[in-house]
Structure 1
Amino acid sequence: MIIFFKALIVVPITLLPILNPIAIAPIFLSMTGPLEPPLANRLAKRIALNCFFLLIGAIFVGSYVLDFFGISLPIVRVAGGVVVAMAGWKLLNDQGQDNLRNSVAASHGGTWSREELRKRSFYPFSFPLTVGPGTIAASVTLGTQMPHKPVDWIITGVASLLGVLLTSLVIYLCYRFARNMERMLGDVGAIVLLRLSAFILLCIGIEIGWAGVSDLLGDLKLR
C-alpha cells in the first residue's frame, strides 16, 4: 500500500508544476478566440484525453524509445527547453491584441469543423503547449524509476496510471473553466495573467534547458 500511494502522489506532484495548466489556461483562451462554449468544452476534453495518453506513453514506453534512438534525457531537456522558451518569448512580445487570437477569430469565427478540432486538439494544444518536452522528460524519468520486481511494478504501474488520470482531470478542469476565470479577472486582469503566464513559460523553458546543459557539462567533467 505504501508503494501504491507513494506512486499515486509522486506523479501529479512531479508533473503538475511543469504542466502548470492554471498558467496555460489564458494562453489556451488566446489561441481559441471566440470559440463557442460547447465546442470549447469538447476541445478541453480532447486535450485532456490526448495529454493522458501522451503522459502514459512517456512513462511506460519513453525510456525504451530514447534507448532505441540513442537519445539521452539531457538532450531532450535542452531541446524541450528551447521550444518552451521560444513559445513563451513569442507570447510575451505580442503587441496589442494577441495575434493568435485575432488569426483564429478571423479564420474561424468561433466555429471549427470536427476534423479541425481533432487536429488542433493535439497540435498545438496538447503538444507542445500543455505536455511539452520538459513534461515528457519528467515523465520518462518517472518511468525509469519503476521497480523491477513484477508485483511492485504492477502496483506502481496502476498507481501511476491513476496519478496520470488525476493530472489529466486537473488539465480538463483548468481549460473547461478558463472562460469563467477570464470573466472573473476582466480584460485587464486577463491580459496581465496572459503576460505573466508567458513570462513563467519562458522561465520554465530556460530552467528545463539549463538542467539539460548542466547534466551534459557534468558528463563532460566525469570523462
Structure 2
Amino acid sequence: MILQEYSMSLTKGFFFTLATLLPFLNPPAIAPIFLAVTENLSPETRLILAKKISINIVLMLTAVVLIGSTILNFFGISLSIVKIGGGLLIAYSAWKLVNSNEQEKLSHENNKEELSKDQIQALSFYPLTFPITCGPGAIAGSITIGVTILSNNTYSFIPSLLGIISGITLAAISLYICMKFAAQLLDKLGKSGTAVFIKISSFIMLCLGIQVSWDGLKDVVSAMLLSIS
C-alpha cells in the first residue's frame, strides 16, 4: 500500500512537471535562438555550452521548486513583478538578436572564437539559461509545481520530489538534444534560410517577452484596482 502511494506520488510529480514546464521551455523554439547567440563560436564550445545550460536548468528549476516561493515572500516580490522584470530581459535579449550586425557575423564565419572557462560559464547562465531558456514563465511554473505537489505533502515528499526532478531532467535533456543538433537541422535551410528563420524566431521571442511583461503589468493594475475598490 505504501509502495503504491509512493509510486503514484512519483508519477504525479513527473508528469505534472513535464506538462507544466515543457510549454515554457519549448526546446524546438530555443534551438535557433541558441544558434544565433553562439554563431561565432566553435562547435566544441557550443556543445559545452549546451551541456552547461541543461545542467543549469536542472539546478535552477529544482531550487525554484523548493525555495522559490519562500524567497519571493522574503523579499516581498510578487510573481507579477517577476513577469514584468523577466519579460523585459527577454525582450532586451531578443532585441539585440533582431538588430544584430550581419556584416560582423560574416567576418567571424571563418574565425571561430574560443572562450575561457569563466566566459563559457558566464555565457551559459546569462543570457542563455536566464532569461532566454528559463524565463519568468518557467520560474512561475516551477513555483506552482512546488506549491501544488510539495506543499502539505510531508508523507510522500521524497517520491514527489524525485518525480519533479526526473521531469525537470527530462525537459533539460530535450533542450540539450535540440541545442546540440541545432546547427545540423538549420543547415538544411541554407545560409539565407537560416538567417531568416533566426530573425523570425528572435522577433517571436521579442513579442513573447513583451507579452510576459504585459501580463505581469495587467496583474499589478488589477490588484491595484481591487485594493482601491
TM-score (norm 2): 0.85
- State the AA in 2 paired with 1:122: F
Gaps of 5+ in 2: 1-6
Distance 2:57 2:168 in 1: 9
**Aligned-CA RMSD value:** 2.3
Could you tell me whether the CA contact under 8 Å between 1:33 and 1:102 is conserved in 2?
no
CA-CA distance at 1:95 after TM superposition: 5.3
Distance 1:23 1:80 in 2: 18
Q: Hey, what does 2:122 align to over in structure 1? A: 119
1:94-114 C-alpha deviation (Å, 9 max, x unpaired):
4545x5x469x49x7332223
Q: Hey, what does 1:8 align to over in structure 2? A: 14
Q: 2:54 aligns with which of 48, 52, 58?
A: 48
CA-CA distance at 1:162 after TM superposition: 0.5
Q: Hey, what does 2:84 align to over in structure 1? A: 78
Q: 1:66 aligns with which of 57, 60, 72?
A: 72
Q: 2:192 aligns with which of 188, 193, 196?
A: 188
Distance 1:120 1:85, change over 3 A: closer
Distance 2:190 2:135 in 1: 28
- How many residue pairs match? The answer is 219
Could you tell me whether the CA contact under 8 Å between 1:33 and 1:110 is conserved in 2?
no
Could you tell me whether the CA contact under 8 Å between 1:88 and 1:198 is conserved in 2?
yes
Moved over 6 A (4+): none
- Kindly indicate whether residue 134 of structure 2 is the aligned counterpart of residue 159 of structure 1: no
Q: Hey, what does 2:204 align to over in structure 1? A: 200
- Kindly indicate whether residue 21 of structure 2 is the aligned counterpart of residue 18 of structure 1: no
Could you tell me whether the CA contact under 8 Å between 2:97 and 2:199 is conserved in 1?
yes
SS at match of 2:126: helix
1:24-68 C-alpha deviation (Å, 9 max, x unpaired):
222222222243322321221111111111111111111111111
Distance 1:102 1:70, change over 3 A: farther
Percent identity between matched residues is 37
Q: Hey, what does 2:4 align to over in structure 1? A: none
SS at match of 1:10: helix
Stretch moving more, 58-67 or 123-132: 123-132
CA-CA distance at 1:217 after TM superposition: 2.6
Q: 1:211 aligns with which of 201, 212, 215?
A: 215
SS at match of 1:63: helix
Q: Hey, what does 1:150 align to over in structure 2? A: 154
- State the AA in 1 paired with 2:117: R
Gaps of 5+ in 1: none
Greater Rg over alpha carbons, structure: 2
TM-score (norm 1): 0.87
Q: 1:135 aligns with which of 132, 135, 138?
A: 138
- State the AA in 1 paired with 2:194: A
